[in-house]
Amino acid sequence: MPATVITITSGKGGVGKTTTTAAFGAALALRGHRVCAVDFDVGLRNLDLVLGLEKRVVYDFLHVAEGKAKLGQALIKHKQIDNLYVLATSQTAEKNALTNEGVGRVMEQLRAEFDYVICDSPAGIEHGAMAALYHADHAIVVCNPEVSSIRDADRILGFVGSKSKRSEDGRDPVREHLLVTRYDEDRVKCGEMLPVNEIKEILSAELIGIVPESRSVLRSSNSGVPASIDPQTDAGAAYRDAVAHFLGETKDPIRLPGQAVGNHPQRGFLMRLFRRG
């Protein structure tokens, strides 16, 4: 079966797309799926950094798209998580350097080799973001509970429907999902941030999770082990809940941060990864 392509996108920058790509990639790989996370953010490469693989990048997405390297030479395997691979992007190239043909060829190869391909999109609606959306089977729109972030997310949802290969080919539309991140209950209470029910009213996509604002996320990024698999944090539990909702494994209502359960079947293994066990 060819891979399912999930594009992680947003209107506004800095909302948590790269964090989410790493989190979903790790969680799916830990379920035994073969996963490749692909960095579409040319010039602002940081997916490899969040996954602790930055020192191992020799060839990147652009090299493969231009035929200067084979896919196998550019794929980097995660150190601790079997089945998780990263295709990094160029740190130096121009934002528009990826051609549609080149991206198409690489995506075709990735679809043949993996179960899931997760595309980390740049923010906004420029070339890289559109390239990542074009190939999507699913789009996860990430937004923070702020008016500007939600307005921009709404704009992106318009593009998801119309600019995909799926719509071009007349297939079923891209499935749209919404992930709220950096949710801060205190700021919602004092009116600085919007409550989730209001976000749900504005945006039509299906809500799959709410990830709290948490210092643990930065700590995870710095250690190269994704937030989703930290067995001891609310953010980790929320990301795992989101993956379960995305996969349709649960029909439970989405929990607000603080209510997440967070038990993980591989807890012992994860505790060792985080060296707290």
Ligand X SMILES: Nc1ncnc2c1ncn2[C@@H]1O[C@H](COP(=O)(O)OP(=O)(O)OP(=O)(O)O)[C@@H](O)[C@H]1O
Residues at the interface with ligand X (CB under 6 A): 10, 13-19, 41, 122-123, 181-182, 211, 213-214, 217-218, 221, 235
The footprint of Mg ion on this chain (CB under 5 A) covers a number of residues equal to 2
Min CB(217)–ligand X separation in Å: 4
Nearest one of 87, 98, 177 to 131, comparing CA atoms: 98
Which of these ranges, 11-19, 26-34, 53-61, 241-249, lies near Mg ion under the rule CB under 5 A? 11-19
What the block records as the tokens of 49 is: 């950094």
What the block records as the tokens of 101 is: 């043909």
Q: Which partner in Mg ion, ligand X, none is near 257 (CB below 5 to 8 A by kind)?
A: none
Min CB(120)–Mg ion separation in Å: 6
Min CB(15)–ligand X separation in Å: 4
Considering the complex, state which of residue 17 and residue 138 has its C-beta at the smaller distance from Mg ion: 17
Q: Which partner in ligand X, Mg ion, none is near 35 (CB below 5 to 8 A by kind)?
A: none
Q: How far apart are CA 212 and CA 210, in angstroms?
A: 6
Min CB(266)–ligand X separation in Å: 22
Does 21 engage in binding with Mg ion (CB under 5 A)? no
Q: How far apart are CA 144 and CA 265, in angstroms?
A: 29
Considering the complex, state which of residue 2 and residue 14 has its C-beta at the smaller distance from Mg ion: 14
Considering the complex, state which of residue 17 and residue 127 has its C-beta at the smaller distance from Mg ion: 17
Does 18 engage in binding with Mg ion (CB under 5 A)? yes
Q: How far apart are CA 235 and CA 226, in angstroms?
A: 10
DSSP 8-state assignment for residue 229: G
**How far, in Å, are 20, 134, 213, 218, 227 from residue 80 at the CA level?**
18, 31, 26, 19, 14
Considering the complex, state which of residue 225 and residue 235 has its C-beta at the smaller distance from ligand X: 235
Residues in the chain: 277
Q: Which partner in ligand X, Mg ion, none is near 89 (CB below 5 to 8 A by kind)?
A: none
Q: Which partner in ligand X, Mg ion, none is near 182 (CB below 5 to 8 A by kind)?
A: ligand X
Asked if 207 and 200 touch (Cβ cutoff 8 Å), the reply is yes
Residue 99: exposure state from Cβ atoms within 10 A (0-12, 13-18, ≥19):
middle
Min CB(172)–ligand X separation in Å: 27
Does 220 engage in binding with Mg ion (CB under 5 A)? no
Considering the complex, state which of residue 18 and residue 89 has its C-beta at the smaller distance from Mg ion: 18
SS3 per residue for 44-73: CCCHHHHCCCHHHCCCCHHHHHCCCCCHHH
Min CB(82)–ligand X separation in Å: 24
Q: How far apart are CA 164 and CA 133, in angstroms?
A: 6
Element (H, E) at 78: none
Asked if 3 and 110 touch (Cβ cutoff 8 Å), the reply is yes
Considering the complex, state which of residue 215 and residue 251 has its C-beta at the smaller distance from ligand X: 215
Asked if 213 and 161 touch (Cβ cutoff 8 Å), the reply is no
Min CB(175)–ligand X separation in Å: 20
Residue numbers at the binding site for Mg ion (CB under 5 A) = 17-18
